Amino acid sequence: MTVLTVTGVSVELGGREVLNDVSLTISAREHVGLIGPNGAGKTTLLRSLLGLLPITAGSITIDGRTPHEARGSIGYVPQRHEFVWDYPVQVRTAVMTGRTHRIGWLRRPGQVDKDAVQEALERVDLTDLATRPIGELSGGQRQRVLVARALALKPSLLLLDEPFTGLDVPTQEILTRLFKDLTAEDTAILMTTHDLPAAADTCHRLCLLNGTVVADGSPEELRDPAIWLRAFGVARSEQLLHSLGVTR
């Protein structure tokens, strides 16, 4: 079942075309890694999927709806620095804010909301820290709070912006296992990453983006060094190719 369909999408930022004719589909149970150099438009694509940026051409459908209509049913995990960590709330409250719009105006969280938050905390292994102020968390714990906040919506599509950046190995393992469980339960995952070996290891498919989709396939299918060199716009980089396991 297709969850996300992106067809011929172009996006302009400040008069400059950042994305040109991008097409991509993601099905339930798929974990796709969005890979590309800085400025390739990875975050721009995520923001367009969330309906935060207008597209100048093409179409986006999420579960058969436009991004605007699908608002509130997409789980979004931004980069950690987008969040105000010295705000005086506890972990459980921070996770509950993921459901603010779904709870609705002038209403307090009900049992459904509390259960969803509890389940999200359990999935990221944060139940012991539920009453800890968010300002006292480590980097790995913070990343898990952001993932839990997105999961509190029980989304069919989960978008993650650089979830592995700056994390220690145990936290990466917790998240990798969690993403595997989620895709096994029909969730579709799209994540941007700079960590190419980890992406090749955890993703079912890799999508190489540099203004447009340069290549799209399973890690095994993307063994040709020329594809990677084109995506990253470099003439030759043994180090890059080596780190990808493309050459030895």
Partner 1 sequence: MIEFFTEPWTHVFMQRAFLVVLMSGIVCGVIGTHVALRGMAFIGDAVAHSVFPGIAIAFVLKTSLVLGGIVAGLITALSVAVFSQNRRLKEDTVIGVFFAAAFGLGIVVMSTAPGYGGSLESFLFGSVLGIGNADVVTVAIAGAVLLLITGALHKEFVTVGLDRETARSVGLPIFWLDLAMYAMVTVSIVISIQAVGNILVLALLITPAACARLLTDRIGVMMLIAPVIGAFSGLTGLYLSYAFNLAAGGLIVLTATAVFIACWVFAPRHGLLSRRTSRATAVVSANP
Which residues bind to partner 1, rule: CB under 8 A? 50-52, 71-72, 74, 76, 78, 82-84, 87-90, 93-94, 96-98, 100-103, 105-106, 108-109, 127-133, 135-136, 149, 153
Nearer of residues 133 and 140 to partner 1, judged by Cβ: 133
CA atoms 121, 126, 71, 59: torsion sign:
negative
Nearer of residues 62 and 206 to partner 1, judged by Cβ: 62
Nearer of residues 105 and 248 to partner 1, judged by Cβ: 105
Q: How far is the CB of 71 from partner 1 (least distance, A)?
A: 4
Question: Cα separation of 35 and 11, whole Å?
Answer: 18
Nearer of residues 106 and 226 to partner 1, judged by Cβ: 106
Q: How far is the CB of 244 from partner 1 (least distance, A)?
A: 31
Q: How far is the CB of 37 from partner 1 (least distance, A)?
A: 23
The order of strands in the sheet holding 16-27 is 16-27, 2-13, 57-62
Q: How far is the CB of 96 from partner 1 (least distance, A)?
A: 8
Question: Cα separation of 166 and 112, whole Å?
Answer: 34
Nearer of residues 45 and 74 to partner 1, judged by Cβ: 74
Q: How far is the CB of 115 from partner 1 (least distance, A)?
A: 16
Residue written as token pair 């940026």 = 53
Question: Cα separation of 16 and 35, whole Å?
Answer: 21
Q: How far is the CB of 42 from partner 1 (least distance, A)?
A: 15
Nearer of residues 143 and 202 to partner 1, judged by Cβ: 143
**b or e along 130-143 (b: 16 or more beta carbons within 10 Å of the residue's beta carbon)?**
beebbeebeebbbb
**3 state DSSP class of 52:** coil
For residues 4 and 49, the answer to whether their CB atoms sit within 8 Å is: yes
Query: 161: buried, middle or exposed (CB in 10 Å: 19+, 13-18, 0-12)?
Result: buried
